[in-house]
Structure 1
Amino acid sequence: MKVAVLDSKGKDTGRKVDLSDSVFAIEPNKHAVYLDVKQYLAHQRQGNHKSKERAEIAGSTRKIKKQKGTGTARAGSIKSPVFRGGGRIFGPRPKDYKQKLNKNVKRLARKSAFSIKQNENAILVVEDFNFDAPKTKEFTQVLKSLGIENKKSLIVLGDSNNNVYLSSRNLKRSEVVINSELSTYKILNASSVVLCESALEGIVSNLNK
């Protein structure tokens, strides 16, 4: 599949690159996509929720009133959950939400995500670009030139580029990653996926192992 290569100003360079059909033109496997996105979202959960139960509350252990003759219910401890400041009944405890997923399923999910985006014509291939210094204004101009300034965008670099990354950090709708940081969720969550030329080889080799 041949795709035109654009420069950072959004103009056609006259060159084309071949997007591998094994990555960008497969029949999407929706169940694999579901499993991978589910795992990604589960791993975002810290799982450190905790409330103190009766045994963990600091307080006196004396019987707070006599057993009979008060006209009210019996009570043996100020740490009882029925009293204000008492322990929590069946409260949340720390939990690990991590899920296991086969590597082949994860690769299939990412191929499916790329194929979905390609079917939507939401993938752009751009020449590698760089800035002399981190400048959000220059990065915004690149997005504007590509016609994706007001869209959620995912820019995929071949190698880490600190100036490009720092230039994008203040923009909520745009995210810059290198090809090894790609996830199915990030690909699908973006309205437009911008692939730098240097990232293509790494993407194909990682997903065709």
Structure 2
Amino acid sequence: MQVEILNISGKKTAKKVDLVDSIFAAEPNDHCIYLDVKQFLANQRQGTHKSKERAEISRTTKKLKRQKGTGGARAGSMKSPLFIGGGRAFGPRPHEYGFKLNKKVKALARVSALTYKAKDNAITVLEDFNFEAPKTKSFIDLMKNLNLSDKKTLLVLGDTNKNVYLSSRNIQGAKVVKASDLNTYDILNAENLILAESSVKVIETILNRE
């Protein structure tokens, strides 16, 4: 599939790029997408939740009332979960939420996500560029030139570009990542995918290898 390359003014250049069918026109696998997104979101969880159980709180151990004759149930400790201020029964404990996922499953998930974006004509290829200095207005102007200022976008760069990254950081709905850090969640979360010209080769190299 051939796509025309645009410049930062939003105008077509004389160049075109081939988006290989094995990545941008593959057979999508929805279950792999589900697993990869589930793992990504699970890894975002800190898992530091904790509540004190009856063995961890400090309260009197004096017997509250006599064993028999009160008409109520036996009670031997204020630490019991039955009383206000008592320990919690089966409360949450710190633990990891992440889980293992095979590399090939994750690669197929990314390929599937890129295929869906290509089918929806939501991929724009931009020639490599740089900003002279980090400036939010420069990035806003770029999105306006591409008619994407009102959309959630993901800009994929071939390599680290500090000026471009810092220029986008303060804009809601805009995200900039390196091609090597591209993940399924970010692809699907964006309405439009902007690929820098150099990032296409990096994506192909990574996904064809995996």
Q: TM-score, normalised by structure 1?
A: 0.95
Q: Could you tell me which residue of structure 1 aligns to residue 112 of structure 2?
A: 112
Please provide the CA RMSD for this pair: 1.3
Q: Could you tell me which residue of structure 1 aligns to residue 138 of structure 2?
A: 138
Amino acid at match of 1:30: D
Q: Percent identity?
A: 61
Cα distance in 2 for partners of 1:73, 1:23 equals: 67
- 1:92 shift after superposition: 1.2
Q: Aligned runs of 1:7-156 on 2, under 5 Å?
A: 7-156=7-156
Kindly provide the CA deviation profile for residues 95-120 of structure 1, in whole angstroms up to 9, marking residues without a partner as x.
Answer: 21111111111111111111110000
- 1:132 shift after superposition: 1.6
Q: Could you tell me which residue of structure 2 aligns to residue 207 of structure 1?
A: 207
Q: SS of the residue aligned with 1:3?
A: strand
The gaps in structure 1 that reach 5 residues or longer are none
Cα distance in 2 for partners of 1:172, 1:64 equals: 58
Kindly provide the CA deviation profile for residues 126-175 of structure 1, in whole angstroms up to 9, marking residues without a partner as x.
Answer: 01121121111110110111111111100001111111111111112010
Q: Aligned runs of 1:188-203 on 2, under 5 Å?
A: 188-203=188-203
- 1:202 shift after superposition: 0.8
The gaps in structure 2 that reach 5 residues or longer are none
Cα distance in 2 for partners of 1:182, 1:5 equals: 20
- 1:71 shift after superposition: 4.9
Q: SS of the residue aligned with 1:42?
A: helix
Cα distance in 2 for partners of 1:70, 1:107 equals: 67
Cα distance in 2 for partners of 1:18, 1:72 equals: 79
Kindly tell me the number of residue pairs found equivalent between the two proteins: 209
Cα distance in 1 for partners of 2:52, 2:85 equals: 10
- 1:61 shift after superposition: 1.7
The runs of at least 4 consecutive aligned structure 1 residues that moved more than 3 Å come to 68-73
Q: Could you tell me which residue of structure 2 aligns to residue 175 of structure 1?
A: 175
Q: TM-score, normalised by structure 2?
A: 0.95
Q: Could you tell me which residue of structure 2 aligns to residue 160 of structure 1?
A: 160
Amino acid at match of 1:201: K
Q: SS of the residue aligned with 2:172?
A: coil
Q: SS of the residue aligned with 2:55?
A: helix
Q: SS of the residue aligned with 1:45?
A: coil
